[in-house]
Copies of this chain bind each other. A is one copy, B any other.
């Protein structure tokens, strides 16, 4: 394997390769509306076949998954996880056509592609194939065998991805580890690496008029609250039993399985805080927050972000919420709530504890409608695939910021739960404004990303052979 030649090829062919990324971005693929989903799935299939793979568009009960395989008789096999869907573009403020992949100069970053999916994640996915083509051109083959599982419903919660994994378990079981190619550099160039993701439980609590009182089928005149109870009050009273005044969660058994950070990860985190790679004051300033839930500083507060679960009100709604005044006794009140679960919390057990808590406090009438359950997932820093990514960043003169866990959530647990293999997300490159107007990635970062993917393969083989 001649990495230097591959990199040289990537550099020399970048103008052409950049156009390939732009072409890929220009086709909409909005999972919420279905726009361009089939066409983009076909484009992904074609990209896999172009580098010598076999690919098929696998139907699911939702949008299809593109499965692919490039078996070149190598000793090692990686699974490439990807998503070809993106969010809608109905936000205000786009300064360009969100599907024109225009290149614009941005003050801090120089030339950038502005397009839906530029960073999340059709930019990196498209660029990844540039690296693969370079390997084929220069070396005739890829350094590792690859499997592909590229889904079209990530932005809708990957609802049918587990079904696919179940169905393709045997084929996917050839993989030793999973790579999710992504532009991981932040605004100042520091790449970050997460050793897992928290789980997500998303549910709605719904209070409606019923046997306990309250109007059952429609809002009624506000003045009747003198003798008719109000579902909004009932929801407020039920919710208020779940946390104390400091927002500490007081649901029985909620914390039963909460495990502290792994010792080595806590040490790495502490070291990075001391080195200034993590700065809580910068967080407070960026997000316009005066203080944290917890006292202290440095590791004392940072570890909470990673080690603590949450019970967050994402939204609450009842009755009249327009301007000025309108009196109303509403018949329904709802709260959308998410729980972020740390290892080793189980979503079904959390649902159960909250349900029991509500019942015990006399709120058995309040409906709990569960929308999503993502398990937490965890990769060890010792895994070759993780070490390979860290080494790649160092090769490219970047010390990564290592997060013990992503406080957000993603469906990566599926790899652990279904395939029992570790995964890593990564790559050089920078982009931002995902889910917002003017999502972008830097042009320079695309080349860095392509090079980092080549180096990653090299490092992976080193690491896995060392083990």
Residues of A within 8 A of B (CB): 157, 198, 200, 202, 209-218, 220-230, 232-233, 236-237, 239-240, 243, 245, 247, 287-294, 301, 304-306, 308-322, 324-330, 333-336, 338, 340, 362, 371-372, 406-409
Listed by A's residue number, 17 A-B pairs whose Cβ atoms lie within 8 Å are A222-B314, A223-B310, A223-B406, A225-B310, A226-B310, A227-B292, A227-B305, A227-B308, A228-B293, A232-B316, A312-B329, A313-B319, A315-B328, A316-B317, A317-B321, A325-B338, A325-B372
- Please measure, in the bound complex, the distance between the C-alpha atom of A230 and the C-alpha atom of B314, giving whole angstroms: 9
Q: Name A338's closest neighbour in chain B (CB-CB).
A: B327
- Please measure, in the bound complex, the distance between the C-alpha atom of A226 and the C-alpha atom of B248, giving whole angstroms: 10
Contact of A245 among B220, B330, B362, B406 (CB under 8 A): B362
In the complex, the answer to whether A325 meets B336 with C-beta atoms within 8 Å is yes
A406 proximity list for chain B (CB < 8 A) = 223
Instruction: Known contacts A237-B240, A245-B237, A314-B327; decide if A228 and B321 are in contact (CB<8 Å).
Output: no
In the complex, the answer to whether A287 meets B220 with C-beta atoms within 8 Å is yes
In the complex, the answer to whether A290 meets B210 with C-beta atoms within 8 Å is yes
In the complex, the answer to whether B227 meets A237 with C-beta atoms within 8 Å is no
In the complex, the answer to whether B223 meets A290 with C-beta atoms within 8 Å is no
This chain: how many copies in the complex? Answer: 2
A213 proximity list for chain B (CB < 8 A) = 289-293
Known: A213-B290, A316-B317. 16 other contacts (CB 8 A): A198-B226, A213-B292, A214-B290, A223-B408, A226-B293, A226-B309, A227-B294, A232-B316, A233-B247, A233-B313, A236-B239, A237-B245, A314-B319, A315-B318, A319-B336, A324-B371
In the complex, the answer to whether A224 meets B318 with C-beta atoms within 8 Å is no
A362 proximity list for chain B (CB < 8 A) = 245
- Please measure, in the bound complex, the distance between the C-alpha atom of A326 and the C-alpha atom of B408, giving whole angstroms: 12
Q: Name A245's closest neighbour in chain B (CB-CB).
A: B237
- Please measure, in the bound complex, the distance between the C-alpha atom of A212 and the C-alpha atom of B290, giving whole angstroms: 7
Instruction: Known contacts A312-B329, A315-B319, A320-B336; decide if A224 and B287 are in contact (CB<8 Å).
Output: yes
A209 proximity list for chain B (CB < 8 A) = 288-290
- Please measure, in the bound complex, the distance between the C-alpha atom of A327 and the C-alpha atom of B326, giving whole angstroms: 29
In the complex, the answer to whether B338 meets A222 with C-beta atoms within 8 Å is yes
Q: How far is the CB of A343 from chain B (nearest CB, A)?
A: 14
A217 proximity list for chain B (CB < 8 A) = 288
Q: How far is the CB of A200 from chain B (nearest CB, A)?
A: 8
Contact of A330 among B315, B326, B340, B372 (CB under 8 A): B315
Q: Name A239's closest neighbour in chain B (CB-CB).
A: B236
A328 proximity list for chain B (CB < 8 A) = 314-315
Instruction: Known contacts A229-B247, A239-B236, A245-B237; decide if A319 and B316 are in contact (CB<8 Å).
Output: yes
- Please measure, in the bound complex, the distance between the C-alpha atom of A109 and the C-alpha atom of B16, giving whole angstroms: 78
- Please measure, in the bound complex, the distance between the C-alpha atom of A222 and the C-alpha atom of B240, giving whole angstroms: 19
A210 proximity list for chain B (CB < 8 A) = 290
Q: Name A407's closest neighbour in chain B (CB-CB).
A: B223
Q: How far is the CB of A220 from chain B (nearest CB, A)?
A: 5
In the complex, the answer to whether B407 meets A293 with C-beta atoms within 8 Å is no
In the complex, the answer to whether B211 meets A290 with C-beta atoms within 8 Å is yes
Contact of A226 among B220, B230, B326, B340 (CB under 8 A): B340
In the complex, the answer to whether A223 meets B340 with C-beta atoms within 8 Å is yes
Q: Name A317's closest neighbour in chain B (CB-CB).
A: B321
Instruction: Known contacts A228-B292, A288-B216, A290-B213; decide if A327 and B312 are in contact (CB<8 Å).
Output: yes
